[in-house]
Amino acid sequence: MNELEYYKMMLDGTPCGLCHVALDEKLTILYANQSYYQLYGYTAENAEAQGFTNAKFILPEDDYQSIMDTVQGHIRRKDRYFQLEFRAIHSSGKLMWLLVRCAYDPDRPGSLLCALFDIADRKQMEDQLRMSMQESKIAFQLTDKMMYIYEPASRRLKQPKSAADEFGLPPVMDDVPYSVIRSGAIDEACVNDYVAFYESIIRGEKSGHSVVRKRRRDGSFGWYEAKYTSIFDEYGAVKRAVISCEDITEQREKELSYQKWSNYFKAREGKTFGVYEYNLTKDLYDDTKGDVKPDCLRSQKTYTGTVRYIAENFVYEHDLEKFNKFFERDSLLGRYYHGQTTGVLDYRRKCIDGARVGTDGVDDIGWVGGGGIIWVRAVLLLLADPYSSDVRLFMMTLDIDQEKRTELKVRSRMEHDGMTGLLNRETFIARVSRILKNSTPPKRHALIMLDIDEFKKHNDQYGHPYGDQVIRETARFIKGFLRKTDLCGRMGGDEFMVFLNDISSEEEMIPRIDMFCQILKHPDGENGEITCSLGVVFYPRDGRTFQELYQKADTALYDVKRTGRGNYRIYSPDLKRKGEEEPGAF
């Protein structure tokens, strides 16, 4: 074997493709080893027969000119060594990726020496990596997450432009975390957590996370959750960390609010009638929170079931309507979605000790004097569940019986006449005005103005104590005549007013008014007879405001006085008002 054959044998055994090509239009092959032909699925023996005598033969037509332009550029610059990646056509017709490393001798300008390597596996890995990065990028975009790269060796942070703009920071920052802290972007209360996050990366931790409050460029604050995964080099040192950051302001505020109020209600467990928590959206009772339910309520697993049971067994009948309206589930959800998150209701509750308690002890001003019924206060708080779209309800019931009784007594003294127990002038006018404002035809009401006939004469003749007694007795007769829905008030001196609420008709009321007039007449021993005069008006016939009705009732009363006393008069437009009587008629 001569020396040439020896070297040829060595080149054929080289595990990469070697070739010597002419720098002509087709890159004619001057020499190629066996590995070169084998890359493309040929042998040195059959390649020429199939036309494989130049590099153009195995290059895609669309790529050929670009490859030639690249090669010619290196030649013009007289680059001795250069490389390029290109696609080639295998004998099977499939495309393959190759890396070619070229050697060019400017002193022998007509050819190139080339070494070729199959890089299909590497290209596949690059494609997979590119796809993975693209998928990650899309995932971050879809989840509103921001991705940062942190290099612990240089303490350099690279962040996306959108994130940098949001906080008024440059996209690349050195000396992180301290430079970010100096910028004022981190809330002071969260500085230690922010530093600890980056220090854990520098120490070589594999992963970690933190939640901090950051100041945005516009001055507002938000909560952000950051998580990192470290990438290590072959020596086990952290090369970089990939950080994902997400704005969790809404969730964090929900968590903090939920925790705050949960702790508030929890602190009162066992000190009230009950502290309970419900999932209002799903209508479920949460038996892991709050007080233990009493035995009678433990079978109730839903909010609506619990409210219904309490209403049927504990709530005083006169407060049942407002109780059901206040606790109605759909109404509470509607209030929450309109921004109303709290509610308070004072109502009367039956104390049940083995038997139902009656309603004895309730007087006409609405407070309870007996021990069977007490005042309680229901406090509601509606909060968003931090981890779902559900609405959660905290419910607490407090014993306010003593303070409510005191409050109602004070209010009663303020609203009632001390001598008669009737409503005083201001309260009577306010309550009647409120009813009239909320009334529309065909609702009908009657307003009666009355006074005691010749009261001044009786008062002067028999003394003030006697006059006070007459006023008290008249008030007692009035109260005996009224229904529970009617109102009566002492307007001052011997003047009273009665409001008959929601009457059936004006005609049907006339016999009742006549009877009322007779009730108010009563003998008074040696002092003769006490009588009253009444002026009567109707809503809406005679007016729709208190002032209109009052003036016409006064006109009707005046007409009774003018024509004989001890009777009643229903207003009509032809009645004369004060100051319009004929001379000498009164």
What pLDDT is recorded for position 293? 66
Domain 416-570: which topology?
Alpha-Beta Plaits (3.30.70)
Mind listing the pLDDT tens digit for each residue in 46-91? 999 999 999 999 999 999 999 999 999 999 999 999 999 999 999 9
Q: What is the pLDDT of residues 197-212, one digit of tens each?
A: 999 999 999 999 999 9
Query: Over 90: is that where the pLDDT of 144 sits?
Result: no
Cα 53 to Cα 471: distance, rounded to the nearest angstrom: 134
pLDDT bin (cut points 50, 70, 90) of residue 567 is very high
> What ranges do the domains of the chain cover?
3-123, 143-247, 254-410, 416-570
Can you give the pLDDT at residue 134?
Answer: 65
331-335 CB contacts, 8 Å cutoff, 24+ apart: 332/280, 332/380, 332/382, 332/393, 333/280, 333/281, 333/391, 335/382
Judge if 254-410 and 416-570 fold alike in CATH terms: no
How much is the pLDDT for 366?
A: 37
Find out whether the peptide bond into 170 is cis, omega within 30 degrees of 0.
no
Q: How far is CA 553 from CA 323, 535, 558, in A?
A: 38, 5, 9
Radius of gyration of the chain (CA): 49
Taking the C-alpha atoms of residue 284 and residue 280, their distance in angstroms, rounded to an integer, is 7
Model confidence band, residue 425 (pLDDT cutoffs 50, 70, 90): very high
Provide the pairing of β-strand 29-32 with 145-151. Answer: unpaired
Looking at the domain 143-247, which fold is it? Beta-Lactamase (3.30.450)
Predicted TM-score (pTM) of this structure: 0.45
Mean predicted confidence (pLDDT) in 400-426: 87
C-alpha dihedral sign at 363, 365, 368, 369 = negative
Dihedral (CA of 92, 98, 103, 108) sign: positive
Helix (H, G, I), strand (E, B) or coil at 168: coil
Number of residues written out for the chain: 586
DSSP string computed for 65-76: HHHHHHHHHHHH
Does the domain formed by 254-410 have CATH 3.30.450.20?
yes
Task: Please give the Cα distance from 197 to 181 (Å, whole number).
Answer: 13
| Helix or strand holding residue 519 (H, E) | helix 506-519
Taking residues 507-514, report their average pLDDT: 93
Q: Tell me which amino acid residue 25 is.
A: E
* Phi, psi dihedral angles at 31 (to 5 degrees): -160, 145
pLDDT at residue 501, rounded to an integer: 95
Q: Residue 365: is its pLDDT beyond 50? A: no
Q: Does domain 3-123 have CATH number 3.30.450.20?
A: yes
Grouping H, G, I as helix, E, B as strand and the rest as coil, residue 137 is helix
Residue 351 pLDDT: 76
Q: What percent of the chain has pLDDT over 90?
A: 58
Most confident of 278-282, 403-407, 542-546: 542-546
The reported pLDDT for the residue numbered 381 is 87
Is residue 327 within 8 A of residue 315, CB to CB? The reply is: no
Q: DSSP characters for 377-400?
A: EEEEEEEE-TTSS-EEEEEEEEE-
